[in-house]
Amino acid sequence: MQPIGIFDSGYGGLTIMQEIVKKLPQYDYIYVGDNARSPYGSRSFETVYRYTLEAVKWLFAQDCHLVILACNTASAKALRTIQQNDLPKIAPNKRVLGIIRPVTECIGNFSKTNNIAIFATSGTVSSNSYPIEIEKFFPNVKVEQEACPLWVPLVENGEYDSPGADFFIKKHIDALMSRNNKVDTFVLGCTHYPLLFSKISKYTPEGVKIVSQGNIVAESLSKYLQNHPEMDEKVTKTGKRYFCTTESADIFNRLASDLYGSPIEGKQISLEKPEKLKYFI
């Protein structure tokens, strides 16, 4: 068993995994949500880097050769250091990919006014990863960012559909539009946000497109595997899915199943001990 590893701070990466599995059902996957330490969004660079590296090492210990950081905060704060400093030392033939780059490569094509908004965690916004990357591909696009620190806790606490969520969603959309009313494309730059989609669309001005990352990331992974047959060969293809969490499995299973849209039986793991679990053999 040599699955593709998918990592997020909590439940949000399930929205990415859903799209990846839809597009590439033949592969095996292990999902890891660090729910016990989520949210990552307001944590320091060092902390997000340390937690993410632990998760990557743990997934490598389960024989993953390819790991997707299905978390913008981890992609913004930890990916580059892991790719440049850690991988050459710990696993030169393994790969870790993030989810910001695939979006920035195509997002300029969605906007007619060349004005795009990124809604994300404080960590992703302060890293400036989106504006820096978008500028490389679409230098004429103006990028507005809005940090929404309470949107992830609404999801992690199962409040994503509650009336209380409306207040915080409207607040950030209004704040962004009042800074730049030419924006015609919203990027949900946090993997938790698709779970707030119906409320976000309720407060989105007419004519503005809402772009989630899932299918963009799935498309990009599919191309990556086509272009890297040496990696494609290493990933096993028996259609298995495993779900792991650093929280109690009972707590995880309930919300994860709701969010994923089919029953999930997760297993509680500890990221500090990167040993191979029998469960995955």
Chain residues binding ligand DGL by CB under 6 A are 8-10, 12, 38-41, 71-73, 121, 124, 152, 190-192
Which residue's structure tokens are 């937690």?
A: 51
The residue sitting closest to ligand DGL, measured at its beta carbon, is 41
Q: Report which of 63, 71, 6, 67 is spatially closest to residue 32, judged by C-alpha positions.
A: 6
Residue 191 to residue 9: CA distance in whole angstroms: 10
Per residue, the 3-state secondary structure of the chain, as one string, reads CCCEEEEECCCCHHHHHHHHHHHCCCCCEEEEECHHHCCCCCCCHHHHHHHHHHHHHHHHHCCCCEEEECCHHHHHHCHHHHHHHHHHHHCCCCEEECCCHHHHHHHHHHCCCCEEEEEECHHHHHHCHHHHHHHHHCCCCEEEEEECCCHHHHHHCCCCCCHHHHHHHHHHHHHHHHHCCCCCEEEECCCCHHHHHHHHHHCCCCCCEEECCHHHHHHHHHHHHHHCHHHHHHCCCCCCEEEEECCCHHHHHHHHHHHHCCCCCCEECCCCCCCCCHHHC
- State the minimum distance, in angstroms, from the CB of residue 140 to ligand DGL: 27
- State the minimum distance, in angstroms, from the CB of residue 193 to ligand DGL: 8
- State the minimum distance, in angstroms, from the CB of residue 190 to ligand DGL: 4
71, 106, 148, 244: the catalytic one is 71
Specify whether 190 is catalytic.
yes
- State the minimum distance, in angstroms, from the CB of residue 256 to ligand DGL: 14
Nearer to ligand DGL by Cβ, of 57 and 192: the residue is 192
- State the minimum distance, in angstroms, from the CB of residue 149 to ligand DGL: 8
Residue 69 to residue 75: CA distance in whole angstroms: 6
- State the minimum distance, in angstroms, from the CB of residue 76 to ligand DGL: 8
Nearer to ligand DGL by Cβ, of 41 and 266: the residue is 41
Nearer to ligand DGL by Cβ, of 9 and 212: the residue is 9
Specify whether 71 is catalytic.
yes
64, 148, 190, 244: the catalytic one is 190
Residue 212 to residue 224: CA distance in whole angstroms: 20
Report, as residue numbers or ranges, the catalytic residues: 71, 190
